[in-house]
């Protein structure tokens, strides 16, 4: 048996975005031997791309804001499919987590009286997003990164984890992977493992997600025996760039609309007024005059329809484009140029200004942007206990985008960064408690290690075979065209067949060259997770025969109250792996206690 | 459109050379798009580091036609006609092809004494927007390390890295030194350990910064002035003696570390 580089810790955290960093900070702060493992360099994770802000009911701009209002907004945004306890903890704890960032050096934009400024965003009743211009994610990741450095946390950079490892009793006891620089195998044993690997967007063709978002954690947790819930709930952000093609999907922050930007079709009409769902009618403006008054004074009018939750806006744009009222490159127009001064736009939205100027040659202070929906966020994920972030297999904790439940069927803008902080903190605490209570030394199963090594190395042993880039591209085409923003039963059945076929072909991938920093091989080792997640999304979408939040079925266009009471749960009962069987079924969502349920009655 | 010809450096620590690739041109592409197409169709194992492809993460730094730039923010149609040359950053050891070993930067980061605010008052700290704007400029840094790559103090002088932090970290020091709430004093550390005096303000770092941070004017020169004030100004020295202002002493700050 080969002798691999090995490390032993109390807690290992896989993923170094906002959630992973926050979890590692918590575990290390409590004195546990902690490792942070990430497949890119530290500080490059997808969190860095978050733009608009961190939602937290601090009440700095609107003193009437509080956690109950934030909780209610979050649940309504998620079409009530959320895990109520996660949404409650999130709303209650987000303000403390933001203050903590400031104590670690973050420099948020300020109110006139010197407190943290908060901005408006879709679905939030009050201006609630703490922010730094339109680069809040960078501020957050840098602050957490610098805190992690200050605490002297051991960081394993450019280290790709392939599999979780269990001990003889099935308790998660570590993980194995390889160094990207050398391709050498590395094995970690740990008393508790935290997954914070982020999203899954790289399985779609047009996505705002970065290279890393391949669903590694979702897949590894499933393979290790954990439950996934509501994987069909994928958020398509309404405003991605549509041109040039090479940057199609790149995010255009919701802050543009929060700061006064409006959506228009080719007839120059503010079409969002035509798409206000019953659920939001009472609190949404019904004329342009009223909507414009709201920007100046929130008590002088109701909210503009451009600030409806993302699922509503994305579907509306999709409909306009299909009805031939789109922009020249197949999107719609997002116009802030005619509504705000150039100076204001450059100050509030510097990255957007820069991004359009450099990549599209468009000056957003002078002309409208062309935007359209882009695959953005996975609401579904590993089923966890709200208080501890524990998954359904012992020894495993999951936080951030890899965890399911918090956002229901649709996430509100700004609730992601706060989710990372609140549940990163809780997962770090949950894992620490577990590690402290776990006796003995964890011993990962040797056979699992050998099996995973053999699987990872197989592409080098084939002289001829499938090209991983080609398979990836075909998977992206499949998910984009058949499991996109609007879905139908027939197309989902086709998608399942294609994903099965691609899964089979992925077992015959061949890679040339050596193991040292070989991107073809790196991609080949990402494919099992991407294929697994794609299958779960498609299965969930097939079985949720209704439209709710980020999941829209053309053949079942309305929400079904019965489906509103259940999570779709997926697991692999007979052995975990990319080609193995996935079982799907529905289970009741946790019931909200009466004192919270009253928040949704008429007078609130 | 005419074909694109790209010459990409390929090799490892033991040496290498430029390999030429020819591809059909596509509208609106950036250099990183072309590299990705080379990987997908001609050289699957061509190593390059990238993450966001949106100019926000600072991973895909390289030297394009000899100039340090982000591959994801360099449009092909804005480069001069003819072959495009893409080489790894020269200032760091090669791992493979376009990927360099930037560990030096993560080591220097550990030397920076952390932010040290006073206890949080009831209702939170108050800071005026005007007082944090300089710090916010510095915190735009995406750690692409192009400034470290181009800085001539270390570009061809590996030996200087042991006692020179480089522009990226002068920006970091400046951000902390100008933070309205910070109580640490890092000036002596900057003078003795981080080699601030070795920078002779040629502004090469400012020129290559993709975030347009005025590294030399807004970070390095003011830091130099502060260090000079602390170390060489007899009036300030006397003032400190008499008034006994209680800040962490420079040596404390330097050893307090993290």
Prediction pTM value: 0.95
Element spanning B62, H or E: strand B61-64
Same domain, B148 and B250: yes
A325 contacts A256 by C-beta, under 8 angstroms: no
Same domain, B46 and B129: no
Question: Across the interface, do A110 and B129 touch by the CB < 8 Å criterion?
Answer: yes
A361 contacts A353 by C-beta, under 8 angstroms: no
Q: Give the integer Cα–Cα distance in Å for B151 and A206.
A: 38
CATH number at residue B78: 3.10.20.30
CATH number at residue B221: 1.10.1060.10
For chain B, the 3-state helix, strand and coil shares in percent, each to the nearest 5, are: 40, 15, 45
Same domain, B63 and B17: yes
Residue B242 has pLDDT above 90, yes or no: no
Mutation for testing the A interface, residue in B28, B38, B107 having most A CBs under 10 Å:
B28
User: Does residue A218 carry a catalytic annotation?
Assistant: no
- Which residue is listed with tokens 């116009």? A335
Nearest CA in chain A to B119: A103
Tell me what pLDDT residue A81 has. 98
From the list B97, B115, B136, the residue facing A104 with the nearest CB is B115
Nearest to A429 by CA among A391, A470, A461, A387: A387
Tell whether A510 is within 8 A of chain B (Cβ).
Answer: no
Helix (H, G, I), strand (E, B) or coil at A477: helix
A263 contacts A306 by C-beta, under 8 angstroms: yes
User: Does residue A90 carry a catalytic annotation?
Assistant: no
B4 contacts B22 by C-beta, under 8 angstroms: yes
Give one word for B100, left, alpha or beta, with left for phi > 0 and alpha for psi -120 to 50: beta
Task: Write phi, then psi, for A405 (nearest 5 degrees).
Answer: 105, -45
- Which residue is listed with tokens 């393979």? A223
Compute the C-alpha angle A339/A341/A342, nearest 5°.
120
A82 contacts A407 by C-beta, under 8 angstroms: yes
Tell me what pLDDT residue A2 has. 64
Tell me what pLDDT residue A186 has. 98
- Domain coverage including residue B122: 103-256
Same domain, B126 and B91: no
pLDDT band per the 50, 70, 90 thresholds, residue B235: confident
Residue B255 has pLDDT above 50, yes or no: no
Q: Give the integer Cα–Cα distance in Å for A333 and B86.
A: 36
Q: Give the integer Cα–Cα distance in Å for A550 and A257.
A: 20
Q: Give the integer Cα–Cα distance in Å for A50 and A21.
A: 15
Nearest to A191 by CA among A10, A36, A24: A10
- The answer, yes or no, to whether the previous bond of A244 is cis (omega within 30 of 0) is yes
Terminal-to-terminal C-alpha distance of chain B: 55
Q: Give the integer Cα–Cα distance in Å for B58 and A533.
A: 28
Same domain, B134 and B64: no
**Quick one: what percent of chain B has pLDDT higher than 70?**
93
Tell me what pLDDT residue B249 has. 47
| Length of chain A, in residues | 604
DSSP string covering A409-465: TSPPTTHHHHHHHHHHHHHHHHHHHHHHH--S-----HHHHHHHHHHHHHHHH-SS-
Query: At which of B100, B116, B131 does a domain end?
Result: B100
Give the rounded distance of the alpha carbon of A311 from its chain centre. 14
Query: At which of B55, B75, B100 does a domain end?
Result: B100
Same domain, B43 and B146: no
Collect all residues of chain A within an 8 Å Cβ-Cβ radius of residue B143: 43
Q: What are B9's strand-pairing partners?
A: B18
Q: Give the integer Cα–Cα distance in Å for A305 and A273.
A: 6
How many CB atoms are closer than 10 A to CB A182? 16
Same domain, B109 and B70: no
**Residues 25-44 in A contacting B (C-alpha not used; CB under 8 Å):** 40-44
Same domain, B96 and B220: no
pLDDT band per the 50, 70, 90 thresholds, residue B258: very low
A375 contacts A157 by C-beta, under 8 angstroms: no
Tell me what pLDDT residue A150 has. 97
Collect all residues of chain B within an 8 Å Cβ-Cβ radius of residue A142: 139, 141
Element spanning B134, H or E: helix B129-138
Q: Give the integer Cα–Cα distance in Å for A355 and A152.
A: 35
Tell whether A152 is within 8 A of chain B (Cβ).
Answer: yes
Tell me what pLDDT residue B245 has. 53
What the block records as the tokens of A104 is 């670690």
Question: Across the interface, do B179 and A244 touch by the CB < 8 Å criterion?
Answer: no
Tell whether B222 is within 8 A of chain A (Cβ).
Answer: no
Same domain, B76 and B126: no
Task: Write phi, then psi, for A275 (nearest 5 degrees).
Answer: -125, 35
For B65-153, strand residue ranges (E) read 67-70, 84-87, 94-96, 99-100
Question: Across the interface, do B47 and A46 touch by the CB < 8 Å criterion?
Answer: no
For chain A, the 3-state helix, strand and coil shares in percent, each to the nearest 5, are: 40, 20, 40
Question: Across the interface, do A513 and B58 touch by the CB < 8 Å criterion?
Answer: no
Tell me what pLDDT residue B251 has. 47
Tell me what pLDDT residue B234 has. 77
Give the rounded distance of the alpha carbon of A240 from its chain centre. 15
- Please tell me which residue, B104 or B229, carries the higher pLDDT value: B104
Collect all residues of chain B within an 8 Å Cβ-Cβ radius of residue A526: none
Same domain, B95 and B164: no
Tell whether B179 is within 8 A of chain A (Cβ).
Answer: yes
Same domain, B203 and B252: yes
Q: List helix spans (H) across A84-211.
A: 84-103, 136-150
Tell me what pLDDT residue B2 has. 84
Query: Which is the catalytic residue, given A22, A90, A257, A551?
Result: A257
Collect all residues of chain A within an 8 Å Cβ-Cβ radius of residue B58: 44
A330 contacts A320 by C-beta, under 8 angstroms: no
Residue B230 has pLDDT above 90, yes or no: no
Tell me what pLDDT residue B253 has. 47
Tell whether B63 is within 8 A of chain A (Cβ).
Answer: no
Q: What are A172's strand-pairing partners?
A: A166
Same domain, B230 and B119: yes
What Cα–Cα distance (Å) separates residue A461 from each residue in A294, A436, A510?
64, 43, 7
Tell whether A535 is within 8 A of chain B (Cβ).
Answer: no
Nearest to A415 by CA among A122, A84, A209, A25: A122
For each of the domains in chain A, give its residue range(s) and CATH number, in order of start. 26-233+379-437 (3.50.50.60), 238-374 (3.90.700.10), 453-565 (1.20.58.100)
β-pairing, A566-571 vs A228-229, is antiparallel
- Which residue is listed with tokens 């929400």? A559
Positive or negative, the CA dihedral B162, B167, B169, B174 is positive
Tell me the nearest-neighbour CA distance from A520 into chain B, angstroms: 5
Name the burial class of residue A481, with classes exposed (0-12), middle (13-18) and buried (19+) by CB atoms within 10 angstroms of its CB: middle
Number of domains in chain B: 2
Q: What is the DSSP secondary structure assignment for residue A565, as one 8-state letter?
A: G
Q: What is the DSSP secondary structure assignment for residue A487, as one 8-state letter?
A: B
Give the rounded distance of the alpha carbon of A422 from its chain centre. 15
Question: Across the interface, do A519 and B47 touch by the CB < 8 Å criterion?
Answer: yes
What Cα–Cα distance (Å) separates residue B89 from each residue in A335, A534, B99, B193?
39, 37, 8, 25
Nearest to A143 by CA among A421, A560, A373, A479: A421
Query: At which of B100, B128, B160 does a domain end?
Result: B100
Nearest to A187 by CA among A204, A217, A162, A210: A162
Helix (H, G, I), strand (E, B) or coil at A345: helix
Name the burial class of residue A385, with classes exposed (0-12), middle (13-18) and buried (19+) by CB atoms within 10 angstroms of its CB: middle
Tell me what pLDDT residue A575 has. 84
Mutation for testing the A interface, residue in B26, B30, B38, B47 having most A CBs under 10 Å:
B47
Residues of chain A with pLDDT under 70: 1-2, 602-604
Give the rounded distance of the alpha carbon of A283 from its chain centre. 27
What the block records as the tokens of B252 is 């404390």
């Amino acid at each position: 048996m080969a002798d691999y580089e090995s490390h032993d810790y109390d807690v290992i955290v896989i993923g170094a975005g906002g959630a992973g960093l926050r979890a590692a900070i918590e575990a290390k702060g409590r004195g546990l031997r902690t490792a942070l493992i990430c497949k890119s360099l530290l500080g490059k994770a997808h969190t860095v791309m978050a733009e608009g802000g961190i939602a937290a009911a601090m009440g700095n701009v609107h003193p009437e804001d509080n956690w109950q209002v934030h909780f209610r907004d979050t649940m309504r945004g998620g079409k009530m499919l959320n895990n109520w306890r996660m949404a409650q903890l999130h709303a209650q704890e987000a303000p403390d987590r933001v203050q903590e960032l400031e104590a670690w050096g973050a420099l948020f934009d300020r109110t006139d009286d010197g407190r943290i400024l908060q901005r408006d965003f879709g679905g939030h009743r009050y201006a609630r997003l703490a922010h730094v211009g339109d680069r809040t994610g960078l501020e957050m990741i840098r602050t957490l990164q610098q805190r992690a450095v200050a605490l002297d946390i051991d960081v394993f950079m450019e280290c790709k984890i392939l599999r979780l490892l269990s001990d003889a009793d099935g308790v998660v006891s570590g993980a194995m992977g390889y160094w990207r620089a050398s391709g050498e195998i590395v094995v970690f044993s740990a008393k508790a493992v935290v997954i914070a690997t982020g999203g899954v967007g790289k399985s779609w063709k047009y996505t705002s997600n970065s290279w890393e978002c391949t669903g590694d954690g979702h897949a590894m947790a499933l393979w290790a025996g954990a439950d996934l819930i509501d994987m069909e709930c994928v958020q398509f952000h309404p405003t991605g760039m549509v041109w040039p093609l090479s940057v199609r999907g790149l995010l255009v922050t919701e802050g543009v609309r929060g700061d006064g930007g409006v959506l228009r079709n080719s007839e120059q009409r503010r079409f969002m007024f035509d798409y206000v769902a019953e659920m939001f009618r009472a609190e949404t403006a019904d004329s342009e005059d009223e909507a414009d008054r709201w920007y100046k004074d929130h008590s002088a009018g109701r909210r503009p329809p451009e600030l409806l939750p993302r699922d509503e806006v994305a579907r509306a744009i999709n409909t306009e484009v299909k009805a031939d009222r789109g922009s020249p490159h197949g999107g719609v127009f997002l116009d802030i140029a005619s509504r705000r001064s150039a100076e204001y736009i450059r100050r509030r939205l510097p990255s957007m200004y820069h991004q359009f100027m450099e990549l599209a040659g468009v000056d957003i202070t002078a002309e409208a942007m062309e935007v359209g929906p882009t695959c953005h966020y996975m609401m579904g994920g590993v089923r966890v206990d709200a208080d501890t972030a524990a998954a359904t297999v012992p020894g495993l904790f999951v936080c951030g985008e890899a965890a399911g439940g918090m956002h229901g069927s649709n996430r509100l803008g700004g609730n992601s960064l706060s989710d990372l902080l609140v549940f990163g903190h809780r997962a770090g605490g949950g894992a620490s408690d577990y590690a402290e209570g776990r006796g003995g030394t964890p011993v990962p199963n040797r056979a699992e290690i050998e099996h995973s090594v053999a699987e990872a190395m197989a592409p080098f042993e084939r002289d001829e075979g499938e090209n991983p880039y080609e398979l990836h591209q075909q998977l992206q085409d499949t998910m984009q065209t058949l499991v996109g923003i609007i879905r139908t039963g027939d197309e989902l059945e086709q998608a399942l067949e294609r994903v099965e076929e691609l899964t089979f072909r992925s077992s015959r991938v061949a890679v040339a060259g050596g193991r040292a920093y070989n991107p073809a091989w790196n991609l080949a080792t990402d494919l099992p997770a991407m294929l697994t997640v794609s299958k779960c999304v498609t299965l969930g979408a097939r079985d949720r025969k209704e439209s709710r939040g980020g999941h829209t079925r053309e053949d079942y266009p309305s929400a079904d109250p019965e489906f509103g009471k259940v999570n779709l749960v997926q697991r692999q009962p007979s052995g975990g792996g990319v080609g193995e069987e996935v079982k799907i079924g529905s289970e009741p969502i946790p019931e909200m206690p009466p004192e919270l349920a009253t928040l949704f009655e008429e007078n609130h | 459109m005419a074909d694109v010809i790209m010459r990409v450096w390929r090799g490892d620590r033991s040496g290498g050379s430029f390999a030429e690739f020819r591809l059909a041109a596509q509208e609106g592409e950036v250099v990183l798009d072309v590299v990705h197409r080379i990987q997908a169709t001609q050289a699957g194992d061509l190593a390059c580091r990238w993450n966001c492809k949106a100019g926000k993460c600072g991973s895909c730094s390289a030297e394009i036609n000899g100039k340090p730039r982000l591959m994801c923010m360099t449009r092909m149609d804005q480069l001069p006609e003819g072959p495009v040359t893409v080489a790894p950053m020269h200032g760091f050891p090669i791992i493979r092809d376009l990927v360099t070993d930037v560990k030096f930067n993560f080591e220097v980061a550990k030397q920076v004494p952390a932010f040290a605010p006073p206890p949080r008052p009831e209702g939170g700290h108050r800071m005026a927007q005007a007082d944090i704007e300089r710090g916010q400029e510095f915190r735009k840094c995406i750690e692409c390390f192009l400034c470290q790559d181009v800085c001539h103090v270390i570009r061809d002088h590996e030996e200087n890295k042991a006692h020179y932090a480089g522009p990226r970290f002068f920006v970091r020091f400046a951000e902390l030194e100008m933070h309205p709430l910070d109580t640490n004093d890092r000036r002596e550390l900057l003078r003795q350990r981080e080699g601030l005096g070795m920078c002779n303000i040629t502004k090469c770092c400012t020129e290559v910064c993709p975030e347009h941070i005025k590294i030399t004017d807004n970070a390095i020169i003011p830091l130099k002035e502060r260090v000079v004030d602390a170390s060489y100004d007899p009036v300030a020295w006397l003032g400190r003696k008499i008034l006994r202002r209680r800040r962490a002493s420079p040596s404390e700050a330097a050893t307090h570390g993290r």
